[in-house]
Amino acid sequence: MTKGKTDLANALLEQHVKHELASLKGTKLRRFLQTEVDELFAYAGTITLNRLTSVEQVMGVIQRIVVNMELDAGIPEMAAEMATEVLNAPVQKTSRLRDIITREQATGFLEEALELRQQRERVISEIMAHPVYQELVSNVVYQGVVNYLYEDNLITKSVPGVGSMMKFGKRMANKAVPGLDETFERRFKAWLADSLPGLIARSEQFLNRALTDDELRDSVMAAWVSVEDRTIEELHEGLGDVQLQEFVVLGYEFWLQFRKTEYFEGCARAVVEHLFTMYGDRPVIALLGAVGVNRDVVMAEVDAYALPVIDVLREEGYLEALVRRRLEPFYKSAAAKKLLQQEN
């Protein structure tokens, strides 16, 4: 370009930049954004979800961002610090459990849980079958029988001296026949081992009969009434900062392992595929409506967040630099040069 044409091109560029910057602030900017939101929602009423994306594209995002993305080592430390701040926040001292979960809500959760009778019976059965519980029952029965024989039966309580005589006789018998006590214990425990399955089965039957819906409801609600007026600080008393941070770290380590399991991938895929089954062939506006997103919701966030951020970017000079990066190549292009030559 000649110097005159270059000056003209620069002048046009400057005026164009001023025009764009003037439209990117205040009322003009909001009007522009509202117009574009309306246009996008209009397109959302005709474009289907399947046309915009696919199951595999969404799964790819999950794989890259959720599963494969390396998380900085500082994340668990930051999470632990945030959890500590929450634990020590003043609101913990003033908020009561009933302020967070009402009695009606607790009752609703309980009623739903009571419907899970099959799961409840399964839990009882698995507890009863656990070796630790069976050992506990065996020891309790053994100690109970021994204590009854030597201390708590009706004769030893009613007749003075009988208990002492029985213990004396036990000691004398052990002296006369060494190992008699151990033999009795061994045989008695062997009998218990044979009888234990029946004891466990009767215990399970008893619990299933005793733990009725009404009994559980009364017990749980009684416990709820006893804690609903306590503050959150009182409820987590004894949980110190160190213990909380350790729980956060354990949770973080669990997440790093869990996100890479086939189970997580299978659950994520089931959700995504179902979403596309429901909305894939429908306009995107149907999905937006299902999650409560409409023009008013978007514009409320534009006012609250987008406009203030754009103001900061303009103050920092980013918007002007952006506009210039977009416009300068054109005003220095051969096409612009040709147009300016035609003007002459």
Asked if residue 324 and residue 205 are part of one domain, the reply reads no
Look at residue 212 and tell me if it is in a domain.
yes
Look at residue 322 and tell me if it is in a domain.
yes
pLDDT at 163 over 50: no
pLDDT of 181? 55
What average pLDDT is seen over the chain?
A: 83
Asked if residue 336 and residue 279 are part of one domain, the reply reads yes
The answer to whether 268 and 62 have CB atoms below 8 angstroms apart is: yes
**Proportion of the chain above pLDDT 90, given as a percent:** 48
pLDDT of 337? 82
Domain that holds residue 49: 3-74+248-343
pLDDT band at 28 (very low <50, low <70, confident <90, very high): very high
Q: How many CB atoms lie within 10 A of CB 331?
A: 22
Asked if residue 118 and residue 225 are part of one domain, the reply reads yes
pLDDT of 162? 41
pLDDT of 205? 81
Look at residue 235 and tell me if it is in a domain.
no
Number of structural domains in the chain: 2
| CA gap 5, 7 in Å, rounded | 5
pLDDT at 153 over 60: no
pLDDT digits (tens, 9 = 90+) for 248-270: 888 888 999 999 999 999 999 99
| CA gap 317, 324 in Å, rounded | 11
pLDDT of 184? 60
Report the sign of the C-alpha dihedral through residues 114, 118, 123, 129, in that order. Answer: positive
Mean pLDDT, rounded, for 148-160: 51
Asked if residue 146 and residue 45 are part of one domain, the reply reads no
Secondary structure element (H or E) that encloses residue 221, with its range: helix 213-227
Look at residue 237 and tell me if it is in a domain.
no
Asked if residue 307 and residue 253 are part of one domain, the reply reads yes
Q: How many CB atoms lie within 10 A of CB 298?
A: 18
**Which of 200, 230, 260 finishes a domain?**
230
Asked if residue 221 and residue 107 are part of one domain, the reply reads yes
Nearest to 86 by CA among 211, 241, 199: 241
Mean pLDDT, rounded, for 306-324: 96
- In the three-class reduction of DSSP (H, G, I as helix; E, B as strand; rest coil), residue 309 is classed as helix
pLDDT digits (tens, 9 = 90+) for 66-103: 999 888 878 888 888 888 888 889 998 999 999 999 99
* Highest mean pLDDT, choosing among 156-160, 183-187, 323-327: 323-327
pLDDT at 301 over 80: yes
Asked if residue 207 and residue 136 are part of one domain, the reply reads yes
pLDDT of 126? 80
Nearest to 265 by CA among 28, 62, 48, 14: 62
